[in-house]
Amino acid sequence: MSGSELSDDLLALLRTVDTPTVCNAIEVAQGKRGFNRFTRGTMQHSKPGDPAIVGFARTARISGLAPPVEAADVIRARRMDYYRAIAGGNGPTAAVIEDVDYPNCIAGWWGEVNVAVHKGLGLAGAVTNGVLRDLDVIDDGFPVLAGSIGPSHGYVHVVDIGTEVSIMGMRVAQGELIHADRHGALVIPFDVIPDLKRAIETVIASENIVLGPARAPGFDIDKLEEVWAAFEAART
């Protein structure tokens, strides 16, 4: 699937809603609970409150806990191959980078330089189980969702490019569509995309059955019992 198959109105909507809403909407589109392609645990966000990261995954794996065992020229060449691969394909795209040293990651691949480079190459953001640094100086407009925050780049180097990666329990293949914000990240299955806009609208409308009365004057347990029945009937 290519970025051209993600409609402009759906892309705009996905950028305005949070990842929990998308998670619920996927279940609405699938007609059942149990969707589980999302990250586990608390992650660190570079710019909490930024619009969600929405993009087709450009994947790679890195390491930085120990020096690479391959020749320096091989490592340098692979880094440039990585940038070429990251820059390719139809947008929107997002970097999804696994640090194979997890949970002992020390290497801040995501800092001032790589944020600027990836933003300049047209990516929408990044998701990683690895380290984020340079929080005060990284560019706006390129959110990073990371496994941790730290000061060092260690011996960071690219291990491989375009392979399936694992980020905090979420497996992602090259080209899959992701949605991420400060709550975490998830993979949007291709088969729900045609129904996703309707499903998001359904989630928002069903939650408003409770939210409207709960935030209005005079709300009490009797009113809750009344609206909760309608809410239960409307949700997945």
Q: 120-179 pLDDT, tens per residue?
A: 999 999 999 999 999 999 999 999 999 999 999 999 999 999 999 999 999 999 999 999
**Dihedral over Cα of 57, 143, 80, 97: its sign:** negative
Residue 20 near residue 38 (C-beta atoms within 8 A): no
> Average model confidence (pLDDT) for the chain?
95
Average pLDDT over residues 78-93: 94
> Could you read off the pLDDT of 11-35 as tens digits, one per residue?
999 999 999 999 999 999 999 999 9
* Percent of the chain residues past pLDDT 90, beyond the cut: 93
User: 8-12: long-range contacts (C-beta < 8 A, 24 or more apart)?
Assistant: 9/197, 10/193, 10/196, 10/197, 11/54, 11/92
Which of 105, 98, 87 lies closest to 171 in space, CA to CA? 98
| Residue 33, annotated as binding a ligand | no
Residue 144 near residue 115 (C-beta atoms within 8 A): yes
Element (H, E) at 97: strand 93-99
Residue 202 scores a pLDDT above 70: yes
| Residue 133, annotated as binding a ligand | yes
Average pLDDT over residues 59-77: 97
- Identity of residue 135: L
Confidence of residue 235 (pLDDT cuts 50, 70, 90): confident
> Could you read off the pLDDT of 90-123 as tens digits, one per residue?
889 999 999 999 999 999 999 999 999 999 999 9
The pLDDT of residue 5 is 73
Residue 1 scores a pLDDT above 50: no
Place of tokens 């408003």: 208
